[in-house]
Amino acid sequence: MEAYRHVPGFLSGDELSRLTRLIEDQEDLYTEVHGRGGLGPRYRVIDGDQIHDRLPEVEQLGDRRVRPLAEEFAGEALRPLGSSKRSMRVQAYERREHGFLWHLDGQAYVALVTLNNTNGGQTQFISTGLTRFLRFLLYPLYAVPQVFSVFPRRAVTAQAGDLLVMRGTRTLHRGITLSEEGERVLLAYTFDSPGKKPNPLRDWIARRLNY
């Protein structure tokens, strides 16, 4: 089973320029997330409610172009995550400490559209097969997620305009920033299978540690 699918050049040059300008014009919407308890992500974020109100083009991209490709990857119809705040985001990584530690998502699929990546930022994956065994260690070792870095992993360094779709609940993954210079800006869209029941523990952790 594929852990992820990387689609280079998903956005045209014109689409990329237009979306980048729109987000730069809404710089005031960003909130700095500091990683609650030292375990949550560190980044700057514009949440889904703000996108709906002030950046409708970003929402339309998710509905019209991203979701069909995510559904093709998933092999089934998908629906946006039930939380409007978390169903889509703009995420910016500008410092070396910005990123996500090893984790599993609370939603089945995540699609990331890269608008800019000038700091070598990566998304790293542990295979779905190995994740089947390691997932039982995730919560007991949640305070020391760096231990998962000893296992084999693959990395994707998505460039501006690329799309990356991943199985958020089936593959351990993390996002890292490799340089103090530059930035990485992503549009993140989250999807679930229709009728999927939430995992109460995973949702509780997401609400406590994420934004």
Residue 44, strand partner residues: 32, 92
Give me the residues paired with residue 164 across strands: 6, 112
Indicate the range of 34-38, 102-106, 156-160, 187-191 predicted with least confidence: 34-38
Question: Dihedrals φ, ψ of 33, to 5°?
Answer: -105, 130
Percent of the chain whose pLDDT exceeds 90:
68
What confidence score (pLDDT) does residue 200 get? 58
- The per-residue pLDDT for 36 is 58
Per-residue pLDDT at 99 = 81
Task: Give percent of the chain above pLDDT 70.
Answer: 90
- Neighbouring C-beta atoms of residue 210, cutoff 10 Å: 18
Query: What are 103's two structure tokens?
Result: 């984790």
Model confidence at 205: pLDDT above 60:
no
Residue 170 has pLDDT above 80, yes or no: yes
- Top pLDDT among 109 and 200 is at 109
More confident residue, 64 or 105: 64
* 159: three-class secondary structure by DSSP: coil
Q: Strand order of the sheet with strand 100-103?
A: 100-103, 173-176, 122-125, 154-156
Asked if 192 contacts 108 with a C-beta cutoff of 8 angstroms, the reply is yes
What's residue 87's pLDDT? 94
Q: Mean pLDDT across the stretch 164-191?
A: 93
* DSSP helix, strand, coil percent of the chain (3-state; round to 5): 35, 30, 40
d(CA 142, CA 136): 11
User: Does residue 26 surpass a pLDDT of 60?
Assistant: yes
- Residue 38 pLDDT exceeds 70: no
pLDDT at 206: 57
Q: Structural domains in the chain?
A: 4-209 (2.60.120.620)
Q: How does pLDDT run across 91-146, given as a tens digit for each residue?
A: 999 887 888 889 888 889 999 999 999 999 999 999 999 999 999 998 788 778 88
